[in-house]
Structure formats: C-alpha cells, structure tokens
Amino acid sequence: MALRTLEDTAIQPRPDFEQLRKVLMREGKPRYTPFYELFVNQPIMEAVLGRPVQDRVATLEFYYKAGYDYVPTSPGWPMLFGNLIDRRQGYPIRDWETFEKYPWPSPESISYEEYEALAPILPDGMRIIAQTGGIFESAEKLLGYEQLCYLLADNPPLVEAIFEKLEAQYVAMYSRMAEIEHVGALVISDDLGFKTQTMIAPDDLRKYVLPWHRRLAHIAHDAGKPCILHSCGNLSAIMEDIIEYVDIDAKHSYEDAILPVTEAKKLYGDRIAILGGFDMDRLCRTTEEQVRAYTRMLVTELGRDGGYALGSGNSIAPFVPVENYLAMLDEGWRMRC
C-alpha cells in the first residue's frame, strides 16, 4: 500500500546533527546516511504531516518527524526585487540613475527573528542550517537575466557596482548567521547554470560572483561551520574554482541529464561531500519499488565511505508524488536500523 503520511513510515525521530556534520566535513563514515534537502515545499510538508504548516513550529515539526537532523531557516531580508518568472513586472535597476535611487536595506533592517524563535524549541540533537537566495540570483532579480547579460557587455562598471552592493548585504547576513550558536552549517544557494553550461561566461562568474562566494565560505569556516553550495545546472567549467578557490565543503543539486550523482561522487567525492542527487524525473515518474531500489543503491554505494547524504536532485517540489517522497525517506530510514 502506498505511503500517504509520515505516520505510515518507519521513521522514529532521533536527530543527531553531528552525523550530518561528519558527512559535510568528510570526517569518516557516520553512524547512518543522513537526509538532506535544500527545502521541502509547503504543500508536500502539509500532505505528509497531515495538517497545515503555517508557522515555524509546524515547519520544525515536519523536519523533525521526517527524520532530518536540521531545519533550514532564512533571514528576513527586505529587498525590492523583480520577478524572474514574470518579467512584465519590470526590474528595479536599469541604469546608473535607478541604481543610485535603489533603497538598499541597512544591515540593521535584516531580521533574524526566525533563528531566535527556533533556538529554544529545537529538539535535542537538531540544528539550524542557515540559507538565503544567492548573490547571482539577486543580481538577476534586480536587473532581469536578459538585461544582466547586456550590461555585462555594455556597462561592466554598473554590474560590478551592483555585485559590490550585494556583497555588503551578504557579508552582513552570513556574519550574523554564522555566529548564532544553534546554526550548524551555512548554505550558499545560487543557481549558476542550466543544462548545457553556466548562466553567464565562466570568466564573468570568476570576476563578479565567485570571489563573494569565497568570502561567504570563509565566514562560515571562521566560525567553525561547514559551507554547502546549492547550485543547479552544468558547472563543469567552474567546478575546480568552486572546490579549490571558493573552498566549499559540500555540493548539492545533481541531475542525471547533466551529471548523475554517482559520477559526481567519483569525480569530486575525495574533496567535497556530495548531497542528494535522487534525480527529480526519476523520483517523480518511477514506481514505489523502483524508488526504494534506487534509494538502496544510493545509500549503499555513495554512503559506503561517508561523504554522502540522501535526498532529491534539487528540492521536494509540489509536483513530487507524496508516496514516492515518503518511500525514499522510509527506505533510507530502514537502512539505518
């Protein structure tokens, strides 16, 4: 019978973030292969929990009951952005004049209320993973992707000025998140590629984006905390930069049509942790038994020596069949026992 809610699974929560940290830092084999997702969308959380998820308490309850060792949390950042899905709404920065008029938030206006509220109610063994949208994605939302590409050719100084302004915002956020006691790791979540290549030229990423990623990673490391990069797309042209220069500890988001997670483990698993990689198409379109079989393969093959956490190739989107998501979690949990 297909699984419908978390009550149907074998999961008996006993969080231990140190096992996930061991994976992220590649400090040998953990006691079990932990779960990792960038996030689970609200409709899925509500479906598997069996009730609305409308506040931080319910969100924490979901991650706890689903067997995660952490809850992902973001700061409140009052930025005025355009919409990358519907560009008819326009974008706030178009030229030097609109750049100068843009209302950049002060560091004091960024809220960490969610972190403060979650800390006293975290179950024993759980930690917070701190994350927010990425620097490159923010530049896209300020300019629009098409205009960003034009300005890289027509007005590089304006592009550089925007990234410098964004860098100041991110340094403030990551410095504060890194010093919060209950934060166990930090994520740089920045989609830098698509199926065949990077979103902009690799040299432009090296100039405008990766130096700021490096600074954020070092903020995490200076606080003694691992840094995860979540990025979709084909990053083959810059993976050496990401590993050796940015100095990430772990990479998330893998797609079979670009780089299967099994191949990623062979290529990079001796230098960074590999997270997730249960391809979204496979997770959505195969049977429950096939999901279970593939889960067993991932845990057995990739988790054998550590440095791997089980999860999807991207995130648990609303279109993921609930029964398949639960089958992945259930099988992954049973393999811990």
Can you give the pTM of this predicted structure? 0.97
Name the nearest CA neighbour of 17 among 194, 203, 185, 230.
185
pLDDT value for 163: 98
Task: Render pLDDT for 243-270 as a digit per residue (tens, 0 to 9).
Answer: 999 999 999 999 999 999 999 999 999 9
Strand partners for 273:
250
pLDDT value for 127: 98
Structure tokens at 35: 């779960």
Name the nearest CA neighbour of 317 among 6, 59, 38.
38
Task: List, run by run, the mean pLDDT of 10-residue segments along the chain (337 residues).
Answer: 89 98 97 98 96 95 98 97 88 98 96 96 98 97 97 98 97 98 98 98 98 98 98 98 98 98 98 98 97 98 96 97 98 94
pLDDT value for 86: 85
CA distance 312 to 329: 10
Structure tokens at 256: 């079979």
pLDDT value for 88: 85
All domains of the chain, ordered by start, with CATH? 6-334 (3.20.20.210)
Q: Which long-range contacts (CB under 8 A, 24 or more apart) does 279-283 make?
A: 279/254, 279/255, 279/313, 280/255, 280/312, 280/313, 280/314, 280/317, 280/320, 281/256, 281/257, 282/256, 283/312, 283/313, 283/320, 283/321, 283/324, 283/325, 283/328
Residue 230 contacts residue 188 (beta carbons within 8 Å): yes
pLDDT value for 1: 62
CA distance 139 to 81: 9
